[in-house]
Amino acid sequence: MEIPYIVEARPDTGLHNGKLGIWLFLASEVMLFGALFSTYILLRVGAPEWPHGELSVPLGTVNTIILIASSVTMVMAWASLKLNDWGKHRLYLGLTFVLALVFLINKYFEYSEHFGKGEGPWHSTFFAIYFTLTGLHGLHIVGGMIVMAYFLGPGAKLWKKNPDQFANRIEATGLYWHFVDLVWIFLFPVLYLL
């Protein structure tokens, strides 16, 4: 049985179902991170003092640049499909995957340094919310990488069978990835700079 409205738009919504689905999922993600940002505000306002300079700003800045660059390569991967350029699509999607990996490697070094100094989540309220927020964000990066790996590997076969459906899947992956970037855009100043 063929699943309806995975390529063409539904007449009532004007959207294909996958796109509506990913946006509703992202709405739930806004609430998930929103609850944690709210927790951060509550903890910070209630704390007698809040630490400054605990995190490496250069490393945080580099990771911000990496994630922004990965957002560009992701949207270029989708645009390349729209231009029927399969080779460039593979290049940009591969680059996005590599940038995500570099982000995680940086995060690994950052975490290792803190754990080495005994600054785990148990150390202070600041580190508790820092590890909760960046840990959850890191899990989202891993999730995105799994999806990208699928489309670089076995999922790529769909392009030959149904290019429009494949492009829609890459668009949905991109929407998720840009959201992960967007969350980091707020996490970076909140945790590293303020």
Partner 1 sequence: MHADPAEVKKSVRSYITVFVMLMVFTVITVAAASFHFAVPLAITIALVIATMKGSMVAGVFMHLSHEKQLIYGALLLTFMFFVMLLFLPVLAYMDRVKY
In angstroms, the Cα distances linking 9 to 3, 16, 132 are 13, 4, 38
The window from 94-102, 116-124, 125-133, 179-187 that contacts partner 1 (CB under 8 A) reads 179-187
Binding to partner 1 by residue 48, rule CB under 8 A?
no
What is the DSSP annotation of 23-55?
HHHHHHHHHHHHHHHHHHHHHHHHSS----S-S
3-state SS, 112-137, equals HHHHHCCCCCCCCHHHHHHHHHHHHH
Which one of 21, 51, 65, 109 is in contact with partner 1 (CB under 8 A)?
65
Stretch that binds partner 1, among 97-105, 107-115, 142-150, 161-169 (CB under 8 A): 161-169
In the complex with partner 1, the residue whose CB is nearer, 58 or 118, is 58
CA-wise closest residue to 191 among 131, 121, 123, 103: 131
Residues 6+ apart with CB under 8 A from 170: 77, 78, 81, 89, 93, 151
Examine residue 27 and tell whether it contacts partner 1 (CB under 8 A): yes
Nearer to partner 1, 120 or 143 (CB): 143
- The answer to whether residues 16 and 6 touch, using CB atoms and an 8 Å cutoff, is yes
- 34 is a site residue for partner 1 (CB under 8 A): yes
Neighbours of 56 (CB within 10 A): 16
Q: CA–CA distance from 10 to each of 6, 24, 150, 169 (Å)?
A: 9, 16, 27, 16
Q: Is 49 in the site for partner 1 (CB under 8 A)?
A: no
Examine residue 3 and tell whether it contacts partner 1 (CB under 8 A): no
Binds partner 1 (CB under 8 A): choice among 47, 51, 68, 105: 68
Q: Which is nearer to partner 1, 30 or 139 (CB)?
A: 30
Pick from 61, 112, 120, 150 the residue near partner 1 by CB under 8 A.
Answer: 61
Cα gap 183→123, rounded to integer Å: 25
Residues near partner 1 (CB under 8 A): 13-15, 19-20, 23-24, 27, 30-31, 34-35, 37-38, 41-42, 45-46, 57, 61, 64-65, 68-69, 71-72, 74-76, 79, 81-84, 163-164, 167, 174-175, 178-179, 181-182, 185-186, 188-190, 193-194
